[in-house]
Amino acid sequence: MKVYILTSHNEISVIKRGTKVEVFVELSLILGLTVLVSALMRLLRQPLIIGYIITGILVSPYFLNLISYTEVFAVFSHIGVALLLFIVGLSLSPKIIKEVGKVSLITGVGQILFTSILGFAIAMLLGFSVVASLYIGVALTFSSTIIIMKLLSDKGDLDKLYGKISIGFLLVQDMFVVFLLMVVPSLVGTPGTTGLTWGDVALGFSIIALLAVISIRILPKLSRFFAKSHEFLFLFAVGWGLCLATLFYHIGFSMEMGALIAGVALSISPYRYEISSKLRPLRDFFIILFFIYLGSQMTFGDISNFIIPAIVFSLFILIGNPLVVIVLMSLMGYKTKTSFQAGLTVAQISEFSLILVSLGVALGQLTKEILSLVTVIGLITIACSTYFILYSDKIYPYIAKYLSIFETRKVREKEKKKFKDYPIVLFGCNRIGYDFLRVFEEMKQKFLVVDHDPEIIAKLSEEGVDCVYADVDDEFLSGIDLSKLKLVVSTIPDFDTNMLLITKIRQVNKKAIILVVAYDIDDAESLYEAGATYVIMPHFLGSQYSSMLIKKYGLDIRKFAQERNKHRKYLKLKKKLGHKHPKAEKHR
């Protein structure tokens, strides 16, 4: 039996009945192999993206030759990229530049300029064409936000100073590469076309303006209707994203641009997080197929032609990128360890780098050999940087002396002098720390606040509170004078940080009063044994205080009414400050 279908060129094609089964079997075999290879990557503590690309190489014609229906995988790849950019668009907001912060913006832009310019120069010296050198130089610029966030999460460093800065400048990179993915196809045009005309541009901006009106005026009103059914919300999101991607493609822009704008249009919806979470599994499936397809397209005709360039570019990424971040952050006054750990997060290229080069191949501007080169660079740098990031704390002591040339001694001496002037120091000014802040002000004692949240530091500076923007780690504590402190309060929820703080202070100061926070009884006991004066346990403190009220007031309802009024006034203040009480929060 034969089935006749109409192709995109209005031609009649014949598909055998068994084709559907063959595609299913082929996809099943490839996904099964992907599971095995990815399991090995997990054992090696490597990102799964490496497993996907290696699977693609294994199923390519050079090895197992399992991919027959390349067109099917190519379509799946386009869907994966479109969904990826749609979800990126959902997370974009007008406040995004403000959120990444000054250091992230400067470091992100500086690293992009340095890597792209020097990468272009290296590629030209190695004999690549101007167009290929441009693509390579820009592709080497981007680092993987997804991989870095996963690694930092595994280490528990997302809330550390270097972690926040890293995510900030990676976000700057993402915005730049998304802009390229939107603009390049539209300006260059697909093979056989001349790119955009002024009429296309005008039509595109008209559609964007119309979408802006719809997203502000209409979509919020329809959100409740969509959200009544989870299934319909999912269907609407997929239909909205893919249809707009197709619309922009047909008027001359890229599908990627349409998908991103579709996401941005929904970014003001109160259900954007729910939409994003529902689409992630679908995105992940198609992105897996994209990387498998990418690996299968690698060419190994004459592998000797790109071994040397791959090694040179990989060393450039693994060494050059971290160095530029270290230099930029040191010039802005950050400590060497913070700069070093942030620098390691850019020591690899991104999935967006591979997507950009794949786009160049699709547009006919690059050969598959360039794609193979950049993919090899990706495999090398992602693998190496993964271990660099996971073991950065152990690596740093061995190279700290070599990085001393980047130290800003004036900043260190200024901090050391600053600590001598304050008998009271508060580490962490979160919802718990705020109460101590007000008590210190009432005491009319000089005090200093140390916090790693730039927003908190900015707010305290506006209020005229003396504060320091820093992580509480071994390097920071070793660079300040702890011997003159009289009272230290740490509201930092991390047990290891509090243990380090107590140990460092007790080595030089036996008389200081040290109050720290703990969320586990065994942790509290350990902190007491290390030298803590008092351990605050918030989850037990409320019941203890309430029982003391009963003991104090007995059955006098008027006294309890007074306490109630005070408490409600206090809660209103907390709400005004944006403080929230944890519901079922795990602190360790």
pLDDT tens, position by position, 192-202: 444 556 666 67
Mean pLDDT: which of 202-211, 362-371, 434-443 is highest?
362-371
Is residue 415 pLDDT above 60, yes or no? no
Is residue 189 pLDDT above 80, yes or no? no
Domain final residue pick, 500, 518, 536: 536
For residue 414, being part of any structural domain is answered with yes
Residues in CB range of 581: below 8 A, 6 or more apart: 431
Task: Compute the average pLDDT of residues 356-361.
Answer: 89
What are the CA-CA distances from residue 69 to residues 23, 25, 125, 345 (Å)? 7, 11, 39, 37
Question: What is the reported pLDDT for 560?
Answer: 74
Asked if residue 466 and residue 318 are part of one domain, the reply reads no
Tokens (6 digits) for 193:
């076309």
Domain final residue pick, 400, 430, 448: 400
For residue 563, being part of any structural domain is answered with no
For residue 29, being part of any structural domain is answered with yes
Is residue 181 pLDDT above 70, yes or no? yes
pLDDT band at 120 (very low <50, low <70, confident <90, very high): very high
Task: Compute the average pLDDT of residues 276-294.
Answer: 88
Asked if residue 431 and residue 334 are part of one domain, the reply reads no
The answer to whether residues 105 and 172 touch, using CB atoms and an 8 Å cutoff, is: yes
Residue 511 phi/psi, 5° resolution?
-100, -10
For residue 75, being part of any structural domain is answered with yes
Distance CA 7, CA 9 (A): 5
DSSP string, 321-372: HHHHHHHHHHHTT--HHHHHHHHHTTSS--HHHHHHHHHHHHTTSS-HHHHH
Asked if residue 433 and residue 371 are part of one domain, the reply reads no
Number of H helices, E strands in the chain: 26, 8
DSSP string, 505-543: HHHH-SS-EEEEE-SSHHHHHHHHHHT-SEEE-HHHHHH
Residue 467 phi/psi, 5° resolution?
-150, 160
E strand residue ranges, 439-577: 447-451, 467-469, 487-490, 513-517, 534-536
Asked if residue 384 and residue 428 are part of one domain, the reply reads no
Asked if residue 261 and residue 119 are part of one domain, the reply reads yes
Q: Which of 479, 483, 482, 462 is nearest to 470 (CA)?
A: 479
Task: Compute the average pLDDT of residues 414-430.
Answer: 71
Interior angle at CA 264, CA 263 and CA 267, nearest 5: 90
Question: What is the reported pLDDT for 577?
Answer: 62
Asked if residue 92 and residue 235 are part of one domain, the reply reads yes
For residue 568, being part of any structural domain is answered with no
Is residue 544 pLDDT above 70, yes or no? no
Distance CA 182, CA 176 (A): 10
Tokens (6 digits) for 124:
């030209």
Question: What is the reported pLDDT for 542?
Answer: 65
134-173 per-position pLDDT tens digit: 999 999 999 987 788 778 877 777 767 788 788 778 878 8
Domain final residue pick, 511, 536, 561: 536
320-335 per-position pLDDT tens digit: 999 999 888 888 877 7
The answer to whether residues 560 and 568 touch, using CB atoms and an 8 Å cutoff, is: no
Return the higher-pLDDT residue of 559 and 500.
500
How is residue 318 annotated by DSSP? I
Task: Compute the average pLDDT of residues 511-533.
Answer: 89
Asked if residue 493 and residue 442 are part of one domain, the reply reads yes
Distance CA 441, CA 463 (A): 12
Asked if residue 151 and residue 234 are part of one domain, the reply reads yes
Tokens (6 digits) for 533:
């004066």
How deeply is 377 buried, as exposed, middle or buried, from its count of CB atoms within 10 A (0-12, 13-18, 19+)? buried
Question: What is the reported pLDDT for 35?
Answer: 95
The answer to whether residues 486 and 424 touch, using CB atoms and an 8 Å cutoff, is: yes
Is residue 221 pLDDT above 50, yes or no? yes
What are the CA-CA distances from residue 264 to residues 244, 257, 472 (Å)? 12, 11, 37
Return the higher-pLDDT residue of 546 and 285.
285
Asked if residue 431 and residue 395 are part of one domain, the reply reads no
- CB atoms closer than 10 angstroms to residue 62: 13
Please, which residues bridge with residue 5 across strands?
13
16-28 per-position pLDDT tens digit: 555 667 888 899 9
What's the sign of the alpha-carbon dihedral 162, 167, 172, 178? positive
Question: What is the reported pLDDT for 584?
Answer: 40
Amino acid at 459: K
- Find the helix or strand (DSSP H, E) in which 16 lies: strand 12-16
Domain of residue 495, CATH code? 3.40.50.720
Question: What is the reported pLDDT for 374?
Answer: 92
Asked if residue 364 and residue 469 are part of one domain, the reply reads no
Number of domains in the chain: 2
Distance CA 359, CA 190 (A): 10
pTM of the predicted model as reported, rounded to 2 decimal places: 0.70
Q: Give the torsion through C-alpha atoms of 477, 482, 485, 487, to 10 deg.
A: 40
The answer to whether residues 46 and 289 touch, using CB atoms and an 8 Å cutoff, is: no
pLDDT band at 574 (very low <50, low <70, confident <90, very high): low
For residue 159, being part of any structural domain is answered with yes
Distance CA 104, CA 120 (A): 24
Q: In the chain, pLDDT over 70 holds for what percent of residues?
A: 83
Asked if residue 456 and residue 390 are part of one domain, the reply reads no
For residue 461, being part of any structural domain is answered with yes
33-78 per-position pLDDT tens digit: 999 999 999 898 888 888 998 999 999 888 898 888 888 888 888 8
DSSP string, 164-209: HHHHHHHHHHHHHHHHHHHHHHHHH-STTS----HHHHHHHHHHHH
For residue 466, being part of any structural domain is answered with yes
pLDDT band at 318 (very low <50, low <70, confident <90, very high): very high
Question: What is the reported pLDDT for 227?
Answer: 76
Domain of residue 123, CATH code? 1.20.1530.20
- Find the helix or strand (DSSP H, E) in which 492 lies: none
Return the higher-pLDDT residue of 56 and 253.
56
Q: In the chain, pLDDT over 90 holds for what percent of residues?
A: 19
Is residue 13 pLDDT above 50, yes or no? no
Asked if residue 90 and residue 60 are part of one domain, the reply reads yes
Q: Which of 33, 172, 67 is nearest to 113 (CA)?
A: 172
Is residue 94 pLDDT above 70, yes or no? no
pLDDT band at 364 (very low <50, low <70, confident <90, very high): confident
Domain around 117: 20-400
458-517 per-position pLDDT tens digit: 788 888 888 887 777 766 777 677 888 889 989 888 888 899 999 999 999 998 999 888
Question: What is the reported pLDDT for 580?
Answer: 61
Amino acid at 269: S
